[in-house]
Amino acid sequence: MEYIYLDNAATTKVDPRVNRAIEDYLEHCYGNPSSLHRMGRESSAAVEEARERVAELVGAGEHEIVFTSGGTEADNLAIKGVVGKNSGKHIITTSVEHPAVHNTCRYLEKQGYEVTYLPVDGHGMVREEDFIHAIREDTVLASIIYASNEIGTIEPIRELAAIAKENDVIFHTDAVQAVGKLEIDVKKIGIDLLSISGHKIHGPKGVGALYLADHVNIEPMMHGGGHENGIRSGTENVTCIIGLGVACEIEGREMDENVGKMKAMRDRLVNGIMDNVREVRLNGHPTKRLVNNANFSFKAVEGEALVLQLDGRGIGTSTGSACSSKELKPSRILTATGCEEVEAHSSLRLTLSRFNTMEEIDRTLEIIPDVVGYLRKMSPLWEE
């Protein structure tokens, strides 16, 4: 059997249709979008078509989309950009953000900003009342993750955005994991800024976008030729932008079908593990969770050992977010949910995509109990 890839929160397979669009561009049109001649105009038209497609997926106007080098840059641009142009020294974020937001806020603390890191409940959910209480006269920005890359919990973004609006606080959300899995309409929800990444939605790596509502002013991070409306200078990464556009178009058009497929596979996986393995806990919210995320803690088993054993048996998984898997510290996200350090060390994240199949899930369900049993036999923490 082929390798079973269950690490789609880390990155996804590029959709062959995205590949074809990229190849077509590289072969036939390579002009600089800023050039006046025909080749330039063709490239510029391709970038604008991609912008429309990205905008459409999240309900934005196309002039409100800024292309970036990925989710990390979109988060940095949103947060540093807002505080650089708007007055107020206080930022609100959560204790369960991706490092792209968390470390940007940490950096701003060193620059003299005050940051409140909202706690979460045992499922990783932010409480509205905590957000309300944290808001101050000088709060300039709230940045709250749409859905967790690690435990899959979906935050109450509509309610939180409404609270921000009532209090004149600019609202940013990192929607890198939510895009394509959840219907998002930035206008209806009242989101001011939203981050997207190409490689999480079967597009290329190294490209992303920031939705920046008309009424929000931000300070650019990159200065140069004034591309992207002066917000992000630098010749556009046309190839990847085209790929991102096609990926967004597919995500939007096929969302219902793909979400249904992923949910059925995730439910089979979660139920299969919970029914067949003793002393296991599902991390994250039991129902308000991404359709492609399952995250477990297996008592007395080391997460990294589990990942390596599964890799040896042909299954790619992860212990937490890809960016933290090289650290030996327990997951900041799991500890924020109140998880004991030892439980956080025994976590396994399985994240699906539309390219997975039920056969792969069934095969995974045969292998995991076996591997967990094998590791427990060697574990000094396991008592039969």
Instruction: Please pick, from the candidates 51, 53, 80, 98, the single residue that binds ligand PLP as defined by CB under 6 A.
Output: 98
Of 205 and 363, the one with the shorter C-beta distance to ligand PLP is 205
Phi, psi torsion values for 197, nearest 5 degrees: -130, 135
Applying CB under 6 A, does 176 fall inside the site for ligand PLP? yes
Binding mask 286-325 for ligand PLP (x = CB under 6 A): -----------------------------------xxx--
Q: CA–CA separation, 127 vs 124, rounded Å?
A: 10
Applying CB under 6 A, does 78 fall inside the site for ligand PLP? no
Applying CB under 6 A, does 100 fall inside the site for ligand PLP? yes
Phi, psi torsion values for 377, nearest 5 degrees: -60, -30
> Which listed residue (29, 240, 248, 323) is catalytic?
323
For residue 196, the minimal CB distance to ligand PLP (Å) is 9
Binding mask 4-43 for ligand PLP (x = CB under 6 A): ----------------------------------------
Of 191 and 277, the one with the shorter C-beta distance to ligand PLP is 191
Instruction: Please pick, from the candidates 33, 71, 88, 284, the single residue that binds ligand PLP as defined by CB under 6 A.
Output: 71
Residue-wise burial string across 304-342, b where 16 or more C-beta atoms lie within 10 A, e elsewhere: ebbbebbeeeebebbbbbeebbeeeebbbbbbbbebeee
Q: For residue 55, which of 248, 188, 208 has the smallest C-alpha distance? A: 248
Q: Which helix (H) or strand (E) holds 4?
A: strand 4-5
The span of 22-30, 65-73, 161-169, 300-308 binding ligand PLP (CB under 6 A) equals 65-73
Q: Which DSSP string corresponds to 248-298? A: HHHHHHTHHHHHHHHHHHHHHHHHHHHHHSSSEEE-S-SSSB-TTEEEEEE
Of 72 and 239, the one with the shorter C-beta distance to ligand PLP is 72
Q: CA–CA separation, 253 vs 258, rounded Å?
A: 10
Applying CB under 6 A, does 347 fall inside the site for ligand PLP? no
| Residues 198-257 close enough to bind ligand PLP by CB under 6 A | 199, 208
Q: Which residues contact 229 (CB under 8 A, 6 or more apart)?
A: 63, 66
Applying CB under 6 A, does 144 fall inside the site for ligand PLP? no
Q: CA–CA separation, 18 vs 206, rounded Å?
A: 14
Instruction: Please pick, from the candidates 7, 15, 64, 174, the single residue that binds ligand PLP as defined by CB under 6 A.
Output: 174
Residue 323 known to be catalytic:
yes
Q: Which residues contact 302 (CB under 8 A, 6 or more apart)?
A: 345, 346, 375, 379
Applying CB under 6 A, does 346 fall inside the site for ligand PLP? no
The span of 114-122, 172-180, 234-242, 308-316 binding ligand PLP (CB under 6 A) equals 172-180
Q: CA–CA separation, 63 vs 273, rounded Å?
A: 46
Q: CA–CA separation, 278 vs 212, rounded Å?
A: 47
Binding site for ligand PLP (CB under 6 A): 70-72, 75, 98, 100, 145, 149, 174, 176-177, 197, 199, 208, 321-323
Catalytic residue annotation: 323
